[in-house]
């Protein structure tokens, strides 16, 4: 459900700007948007990358699918419309965190291309880095980290991505990680390399 903003609100420009925060932090802020099937490795990777960045004195925060659904999006289900609204709220939150000077890592299946595209378009080019965690569904199902595939196969979970709800792979992501075959360390290294290459972060 989209609630339009009130015509009686006025945007207040801060004096402490994103640029000033970035200068204080000594790194750029950016959104790292991990997408992929359940069990592909989004959360594991986001937290592992965050760990490395934190040790290197970067300001970071992980927005994790399950955690967000406990609070901000607790009222939403898994139908197409609710999934869309889930991603819209997260995108807006990530945009605020960008202004706060934080390297924000989001770990959501975010199955629909159009929703991810909308998230990208909310911010300037370069502020949104889409990372596709590419992993065959067979491998995700073997891992079955949360036991959800088993439940979905037994018909206990409706609209489960990859089984009874579609996953639209990114056409042109900034980075593709073969999370089904490569080690976690290799994948983390590729993300950090990309951040260095983009000039987000120079101290890894
Ligand atoms: P998701 O957040 O995508 O649902 P999780 O991060 O919860 O997935 O689970 C992924 C599982 O796959 C974890 O048990 C993790 O240890 C394992 N794994 C194996 N290889 C990798 C890799 N290269 N990247 C991320 N996770 C991996």
For residue range 118-165, what is the model confidence (pLDDT) as tens digits? Answer: 999 999 999 999 999 999 999 999 999 999 999 999 999 999 999 999
Q: What is the rounded end-to-end Cα distance, in angstroms, of the chain?
A: 41
Asked whether residue 60 is domain-assigned, the answer is yes
| CATH code, 185 | 3.40.50.300
Q: CA angle 97-54-122, nearest 5°? A: 20
Asked whether residue 8 is domain-assigned, the answer is no
CA of 140 to the centre of ligand 1 (A): 8
Average pLDDT over residues 168-191: 98
In short, whether 182's Cβ falls inside 6 Å of ligand 1 is yes
Question: Mind listing the pLDDT tens digit for each residue in 35-55?
Answer: 999 999 999 999 999 999 999
Q: Which residues are catalytic?
A: 110
Phi, psi of 131 (to 5 degrees): -120, 115
Give the pLDDT of residue 203.
52
Residues of the domain holding 95? 18-197
Asked whether residue 98 is domain-assigned, the answer is yes
Q: How many domains does the chain have?
A: 1
Strands 128-133 and 60-64, sheet pairing: unpaired
In short, whether 185's Cβ falls inside 6 Å of ligand 1 is no
Asked whether residue 11 is domain-assigned, the answer is no
């Amino acid at each position: 459900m989209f609630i339009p903003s009130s015509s009686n609100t006025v945007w207040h420009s801060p004096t402490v700007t994103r640029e000033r925060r970035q200068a204080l932090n000594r790194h750029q802020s950016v959104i790292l948007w991990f997408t992929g099937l359940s069990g592909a490795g989004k959360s594991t990777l986001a937290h592992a990358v965050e760990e490395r960045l934190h040790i290197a004195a970067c300001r970071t925060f992980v927005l994790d699918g399950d955690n967000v659904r406990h609070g901000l999006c607790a009222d939403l289900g898994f139908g197409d419309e609710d999934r869309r609204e889930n991603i819209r709220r997260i995108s807006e939150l990530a945009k605020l965190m960008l202004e706060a000077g934080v390297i924000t890592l989001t770990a959501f299946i975010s199955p629909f291309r159009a929703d991810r595209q909308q998230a990208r378009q909310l911010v300037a080019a370069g502020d949104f880095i889409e990372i596709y965690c590419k992993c065959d569904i067979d491998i995700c199902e073997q891992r079955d980290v949360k036991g959800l595939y088993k439940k979905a196969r037994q018909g206990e979970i409706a609209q489960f991505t990859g089984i009874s709800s579609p996953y639209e792979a990114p056409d042109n992501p900034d980075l593709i990680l073969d999370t089904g075959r490569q080690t976690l360390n290799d994948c983390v290294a590729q993300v950090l390399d990309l951040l260095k290459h983009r000039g987000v972060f120079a101290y890894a």
